[in-house]
Structure formats: structure tokens, C-alpha cells
Amino acid sequence: MRPVPVVFHIGPLEIHTYGIGLALTFWFGYRYLARRLRQRGYPDDWLGGTFVWIVVAAIVGARIVHVLAHLSYYTSNPGDVFAIWHGGLSSFGGLALAVPVGLVSARRRCPALPLAVAGDLVAPVLVAAWAMGRLLGPQFMVAGGGKVTRAWFGMYYAGEVGKRLPVPLFQAAECFVVYLVAMRIERWCRANPALPAGIVTGMAVSLWGLSRFFDEYFYLTHDAGTDAVEAAGLAFFVVGAAVSLLLVRRGRRAASGERARAEAVGENAGVASTGSPG
């Protein structure tokens, strides 16, 4: 069986399937986020400029962290530092640079959009785009598979010997589940207006981090950057879950305070009515 295709030609032009997949993923993320902004009553005419910065920051950050995690290889092969068409983009690096760049740009271009609300709008989009990106990106890149396997669902990937675990397919399925959970949490938060913004973001970050840890630990071949990715995944899981729980507790305390004040007002009104002259 031949590996999944990673490149094709149109005349003399060489087209990398991995790059087309990333482009489609970015397009999907842009359109979906614009729709969610409109649904929540925010303008989306500012999003185009911000999205350009997000895309650039995501690619640059993802590549920088990947190169640093495999510095010994790139020190010996400096010409491959910019060869992103061969793969090698760190998820955590992309997020680390793209998220703050996106939030700063959104704050400048759309001041009416609170940052916590922006996070809750963006988080499901990122998870959905990640699921799509796994299918259209690493699935069609050089060395995109995981550990060697004899399982019937193993696949052949360019640049790797033997059947490999189709990790991109696993990750796409995991992220789709995280997306569904995030949307369910979003509906729950809307049904409970006392809950503050940020819970959707926290839970999406937490579950995505946990899935990244398991992917790296169970499915991927261990290399120099594995331990760092596993640690980052666990950190995302703990921090995201802690923030979400704190926000839920804050919202419940606020709701309890509102109920107590409402009951007090009702009791005072009843006392005043009873004491009024007949």
C-alpha cells in the first residue's frame, strides 16, 4: 500500500497537500468565527485584518517552538528551518503567539467586545478548526503517522517505514468530541446568565490539553520534544479546569447573593404592606 499523498504537480508547479489543508482550515476558522460574532450581535468587519495577524503569528510561533524542541537536528540542517511544507508546527507554539496577538488586535479593532467573551467565542472555533486541520494537514504531510503498528487501521505515511497509527485521525475525532462538549457548556452558560464569561474557554483549553497529553504519551514516537509537549498538555488541563471551576463558583455565589437580596426586598415589602394603615 502506498503512503497518503503529500505532494502533486500542476505542470511544473509542485503543490504540497499539507499547505492546501492548512489554508482551508484557516478559511474555515475565519468564516465560522465571523458567523459566531454576528450571532452574538458583534460586528465582524474588523476580523479580516486581525485574522491575517493571527495566521502569521500562529505559523511563526508554531515553527519557532518546533525548531527549538528539535534544535539538535536543525543545527545540523539549518536549511530545513523554514521548510514547513515538510511538517513541523507545534500546536502550543502556535497558540502561545497567535492567541495574545489575536486578543490585542481584537481589543484595538473592536473595543465593544470584552476579552473574556471573545475567548468564549473563539475557543469552539479553534477546537473545530483543529479537528479539521488534523484531517487536512498532518494526515497529508511527511512523517505524519504515529508509532509503528500491526493493527488493521494502521496507515502508511511518506517518510516513515511500516504501518503507523493514524494519529491525525485520532486527534480529529478527539477534538470533535471536545468541540461538542464546549458547545454544550456554552448552552448551559447561556441558560445561567449569572455565570461569568470564560468558562467555555477554560473547559475547551482543559480538555484539549488532556487530549494532547494522551496523544503524545500513547500514540506518538517519543523524541526530544515529547516530554515538553506532555508537560504542556497537563498544564493546560490543570489551569483550564481550575479557571473554569473558579468561574462557576463565582457565578453561583453571585446568583445566591441576588436571590438573597430579592428575598430580602420581598420580605421588606410584605412588612411594609402589613404595617400600612387600613
The pLDDT confidence band at residue 9, using thresholds 50, 70 and 90, is confident
Backbone φ, ψ for residue 193 (5° rounding): -60, -20
- Answer yes or no: is pLDDT of 47 > 70: yes
Asked whether residue 178 is assigned to any structural domain, the reply reads yes
> Where in the chain does DSSP place strands (E)?
7-10, 13-16
Please report the pLDDT score of residue 70 as a whole number.
Answer: 77
Please report the pLDDT score of residue 144 as a whole number.
Answer: 82
The residue among 49 and 260 whose pLDDT is bigger is: 49
Rounded CA-CA distance 2/160 in Å is 11
Residue 34: its H or E element: helix 17-39
C-beta pairs of 209-216 under 8 Å, 24+ apart in sequence: 209/233, 209/234, 209/235, 209/236, 209/237, 209/240, 210/234, 210/236, 210/237, 211/171, 211/174, 211/175, 211/178, 212/91, 212/92, 212/236, 213/237, 215/167, 215/170, 215/171, 215/174
Number of domains comprising the chain? 1
- Answer yes or no: is pLDDT of 277 > 60: no
Asked whether residue 276 is assigned to any structural domain, the reply reads no
Residue-range definition of the domain harbouring residue 212: 7-270
- Answer yes or no: is pLDDT of 222 > 70: no
Please report the pLDDT score of residue 67 as a whole number.
Answer: 85
Please report the pLDDT score of residue 14 as a whole number.
Answer: 79
Q: What global pTM score does this model have?
A: 0.84
Cell of 212: 494532547
Asked whether residue 277 is assigned to any structural domain, the reply reads no
Please report the pLDDT score of residue 194 as a whole number.
Answer: 87
Asked whether residue 278 is assigned to any structural domain, the reply reads no
Q: Which of 23-27, 207-211, 262-266, 274-278 has the lowest mean pLDDT?
A: 274-278
Highest mean pLDDT among 57-66, 130-139, 190-199: 190-199
- What average pLDDT does range 35-53 have in this prediction? 93
Distance between alpha carbon 112 and the CA centroid of its chain, in Å? 23
Rounded CA-CA distance 181/82 in Å is 36
Cell of 231: 508537560
Asked whether residue 108 is assigned to any structural domain, the reply reads yes
Helix axes 17-39, 47-69, angle to 10 degrees: 140
Residue 20: its H or E element: helix 17-39
